[in-house]
Amino acid sequence: MIKINQLKLKVTDPVAKLKAAAARLLKIDEKEIKNLEVVRRSIDARKKPDISFSYTVLIKTAFDEKKEQKLVEKLRNRDISIDEMTEYQEPKLNARIAGVERREFFKDEKNRPVVVGFGPAGMFAALILARAGMHPVVFERGADVDERIRNVQDLWEKGELHSESNPQFGEGGAGTFSDGKINTLVKDKDGRSRFILNLFVGYGADSSIIIDAKPHVGTDRLVDIVKNIRREIEALGGEIRFNTKFTYDKERDKDRKIILAIGHSARDTYEELFEAGLGMQAKDFAMGFRVQHLQSMINKDLYGDVDEKTLAALGPGAYKVTHTSAENGRGVYSFCMCPGGYVVNSSSEDGKLCVNGMSYHARDGVNANAAIIVSVRKSDYNGEQEPLGGIRLQRELEERAYRLLDGKVPVQTYGDFKKDVSSTEESLGKVKPQIKGQYGFSKLNDIFKFEEDSKYASLNDFNETFIEGMENFEHKLRGFSGEDTILSGIEARTSSPVRIPRNEKFESNIPGIYPCGEGAGYAGGIMSAAMDGMKTAEALVKHYNSL
């Protein structure tokens, strides 16, 4: 097949025009194109307001393979090549395991693989195992998604935290109450990401996610999707035990195969497993604040002055900004940008507060929000000697954020942050808080202030670095560092501060434990976590096939 990159159409043009555009580029008759499949679509806004969609397509012509190859060679265009779409090959389990018929083998409880956690990594690990006929048992400390929605509403509306069922714990993991972005930078030569996208579409997501460079599902759609995946696992003989926290027992579990797919908010589980001897390493991560701007301002910055029809085709603008401090070398960057979304109270521990961002499918909220975060090094928390030191730092800062307003989300304008003063309602400008959860006005500066003899004293440059980044981003997005930009915090759980080492067979230093996903330090979002869960399940199938 012939692959064409950067095939351009106006954003308001119908996709049907791609065939004619491809034929012109290939210098062949349109009738000689038998099939055209869109692989990817992204926005090209370099010449705004003249904005286009840039497509990557795969084309099957009426020619044989040799003639297609000659055609590509003759054109001498680096955007045209020979390629094929790789389809994911699900792992197959042998008919007999350890000399026993497969169905009989997995009737024995001790032979059934265990999956700990039912977020993206655990969910897709369990799905692959169930499809292979292995009847996995999933332990999820939180509730099923319907009960979980009620628990989360209690937190947002009443300030009542359910410590085991909240925006972090429960069916679907932390991703269920997030923006639902499923893009990834992970290379996908084996077709796992497209497998996931197709599954999502089959269970309720828009088909556009298969081709969009920045696919988005939305919290409201994810709720039904995760339920449908769970039902398939159960129909295939898998079992999901909700409201059941897994506790490792060396003697009981010595012969079990356990896929450890905990999220990085399962801090107590880290501690228990560390005490049990599971190898862990501290790693760099990042923390900061959620910032809110008017979505209309972001749209204008990214697209220029476009008409309503063009804007409707483009959708609300999404940005990604990065900066490296000249003073200390710390990175400052945006994370989990939510167009037309909300800041949400995402807490999971009593006396501690953290925030996240969320968008519904329509992304029709007034504000855009993103985490603007600053890199935290292992040396900032003595990570070389304390593998769980990053978790202790997170807890310390989340306690500080909680104490500011007794659990309400603290809000401060960027203008007041620069002045190091508390905000009040009178501080607000055009941007008004769009927050799921109770909030009030306060002063965020003190969260990252430490005594000189504190072991975290190296983070005293945090506020200055944050401001440096915000001012730099003003040169990329006009109005980004406006006085009325709204900050809230703390965003402490962008990625795991811990990595659980595993070997080439995906196994940890404790035989039988297979760490994967974000909590184990091998992923950074819904898609990459799901893909890592699949890889781990594949490794486990391979192990059973060797028995």
Decide: 25 and 8 in contact? Cβ < 8 Å.
no
pLDDT band at 77 (very low <50, low <70, confident <90, very high): very high
pLDDT given at position 219? 84
Report how far residue 318's alpha carbon sits from residue 338's, in angstroms, rounded to the nearest whole number. Answer: 7
pLDDT band at 179 (very low <50, low <70, confident <90, very high): low
pLDDT in tens, 283-332: 999 999 999 999 999 999 999 999 999 999 999 999 999 999 999 999 99
Residue 185 in this model has a pLDDT that exceeds 70: no
The better pLDDT of the pair 213, 154 is held by 154
CA atoms within 13 A on the CB side of 51: 24
What are the boundaries of each domain within the chain? 2-82, 96-280+500-545, 282-491
pLDDT band at 366 (very low <50, low <70, confident <90, very high): very high
pLDDT in tens, 372-402: 999 999 999 999 999 999 999 999 999 999 9
Decide: 373 and 333 in contact? Cβ < 8 Å.
yes
Report how far residue 498's alpha carbon sits from residue 265's, in angstroms, rounded to the nearest whole number. Answer: 11
Query: CA end-to-end span of the chain, whole Å?
Result: 40
Q: Which amino acid is at 253?
A: D
Beta bridge partners of 356: 344
CA-nearest of 103, 70, 62, 82 to 4 is 82
Q: Provide CATH code, domain 96-280+500-545.
A: 3.50.50.60
Residue 88 burial (CB count, 10 A): 16
Report how far residue 317's alpha carbon sits from residue 369's, in angstroms, rounded to the nearest whole number. Answer: 11
pLDDT band at 442 (very low <50, low <70, confident <90, very high): very high
Q: Is 326 exposed, middle or buried (0-12, 13-18, 19+ CB in 10 A)?
A: exposed
φ and ψ at 487, to 5 degrees?
A: -110, 145
The CATH topology of domain 2-82 is: Alpha-Beta Plaits (3.30.70)
pLDDT band at 215 (very low <50, low <70, confident <90, very high): confident
pLDDT in tens, 399-440: 999 999 999 999 999 999 999 999 999 999 999 999 999 999
The token pair at 26 is 């290939």
Residue 128, SS3 per DSSP: helix
Residue 187 in this model has a pLDDT that exceeds 90: no
The token pair at 351 is 């006396």
The better pLDDT of the pair 216, 21 is held by 21
CA-nearest of 367, 351, 490 to 417 is 490
Element (H, E) at 91: none
Report how far residue 195's alpha carbon sits from residue 512's, in angstroms, rounded to the nearest whole number. Answer: 27
Which segments of 208-288 does DSSP mark as H helices, in order? 219-235, 267-275
CA-nearest of 388, 369, 370 to 378 is 388
Q: Calculate mean pLDDT across residues 196-203.
A: 94
96-280+500-545 has the same fold as 2-82: no
Report how far residue 22's alpha carbon sits from residue 40's, in angstroms, rounded to the nearest whole number. Answer: 15
Element (H, E) at 299: helix 295-303
Sign of the alpha-carbon torsion through 536, 247, 240, 545: positive
